[in-house]
Amino acid sequence: MKDFSGRTAFVTGGANGVGIGIVRNLLNQGCKVAIADIRQDSIDQALATLDNREVMGVQLDVASRDGFKAAADEVEAKFGPVSILCNNAGVNLFQTIEDSTYDDWDWLMGVNLGGVINGVMTFVPRMVERVKAGQQVGGHVVNTASMAAFLAAGTPGIYNTTKFAVRGLSESLHYSLLQYGIGVSVLCPGLVKSYIYASDDIRPDDLKAGARPVNHEAVERLAGVHEFGMEPDVIGARVIEAMQANRLHIFSHPDHKDELRGIFAEIIDEYQDYPKDPGFDQRVGFEKMRHDNFAEARKKSREAKF
């Protein structure tokens, strides 16, 4: 995306952390920005720092489909069609899968994955229809995943699951929306100066059954660690640059490059030189069509200039 000025952007989890960094950078590019967040007090505090800017706040639980539609209608009535969507809201539980409950799964899946799905399903069809009708030129979707979309240790298990899913959703959507000139990126940050360590503060009451007691000492330790996280405005600037380049993956933190290279090498090493099984040649012949089509899609993505 080259032209930001005058566009309307919708940013979930936009009142702090990565979200506010994206918001400030979009405003600096001349966008009208809607800050969507579950915390009204955080929205109010964010808006107070953004005087004389075209920005509005809307309280939203991203796990609610009806809430998303209502928020979309409210924002577009005031600011016009949304053509930049940043699905950034997220929560975390720092625990293993075997120590988790169904309520833990429902909470994290509802926000981290369901929130992205709801954002995409609310806004992307509107974007596509406007492009088809000649009422809009392109657009961009940024889905915040995490380096946890690539690095899956034992903890945090559910969080890893949701972020892997967001990565897959984003990569698929990136290629399906190329034809409309709508870019899609997946943001994979590392440690950020944010409040995600305090996610329990906003856990819905109806999903607290079986929840483990909050370890306040651990929360304090995580708060200290996050103080050394990357500044949100730095990440926001790198998001803008990646959108301008129509880059699929946004790796805001250079910290993990060597680690990721090692993991990819380990994955390739786990391929075995099995002898040909019956049907091998026919199967490979069929896969070649898929392989060639996907290679062509990746080539078009790299060459896209919208």
pLDDT at 306: 85
In a domain, 288, yes or no: no
Check residue 225 and give its pLDDT.
Answer: 72
87 near 141, Cβ under 8 Å?
yes
Residues linked to residue 141 through DSSP beta bridges, in sequence order: 85, 184
Given 102, 159, 175, 180, which residue is catalytic?
Answer: 159
* 200 found inside a domain: yes
Q: Using 50, 70 and 90 to split pLDDT, how confident is the model at 244?
A: very high
Cβ–Cβ under 8 Å, residues 207 and 106: yes
Query: Does the residue 300 lie in any domain?
Result: no
Q: What is the pLDDT of residue 29?
A: 97
194: pLDDT strictly greater than 90: no
Average pLDDT over every residue of 91-117 = 96
Whole-angstrom distance, CA of residue 209 vs CA of residue 66: 24
Report the DSSP pairing between strands 32-37 and 55-59.
parallel
Q: Is the pLDDT reported for residue 222 higher than 70?
A: no
Q: Tell me if residue 159 is catalytic.
A: yes
Paired tokens of 78: 């005031």
C-alpha span between 260 and 124 (Å, rounded): 31
Top-confidence residue, 36 or 217? 36
CA–CA separation, 112 and 62 (whole Å): 9
CATH number at residue 148: 3.40.50.720
In-domain check, residue 306: no
**pLDDT value at 226 more than 80:** no
pTM for this structure? Answer: 0.95
pLDDT at 200: 87
Residue in 225, 226, 234, 233 with CA at minimum distance from that of residue 254: 234
pLDDT of the residue at 212:
85
Whole-number pLDDT of residue 258: 97
Give mean pLDDT, residues 74-94: 97
The residues near 126 (Cβ < 8 Å, ≥ 6 apart) are 72, 76, 81, 82
pLDDT, one tens digit per residue, over 117-171 is 999 999 999 999 999 999 999 999 999 999 999 999 999 999 999 999 999 999 9
Let me know if residue 298 belongs to a domain.
no
How far is it, in rounded angstroms, from Cα 8 to Cα 31? 6
Measured CA to CA, the distance from residue 2 to residue 277 in angstroms comes to 50
pLDDT in tens, 35-75: 999 999 999 999 999 988 899 999 999 999 999 999 999 99
pLDDT for 196 beyond 80: no
* Structural domain boundaries enclosing 34: 8-256
- Residue 25 belongs to some domain of the structure: yes
Residue 217 has pLDDT above 90, yes or no: no
CA 49 vs. chain centroid, Å, equals 24
Structural domain total, the chain: 1
33-66 burial, b for 16+ CB within 10 Å, e for fewer?
bbbbbbbeebbeebeeebeeeebbbbebbbbbee
Reported confidence tier of residue 303, pLDDT bands at 50, 70, 90 = very high
State whether residue 247 is helix, strand or coil.
coil
pLDDT of 298: 97
Is residue 7 within 8 Å of 79, Cβ to Cβ? no
| Predicted confidence (pLDDT) per residue in 271-299, tens digit | 999 999 999 999 999 999 999 999 999 99
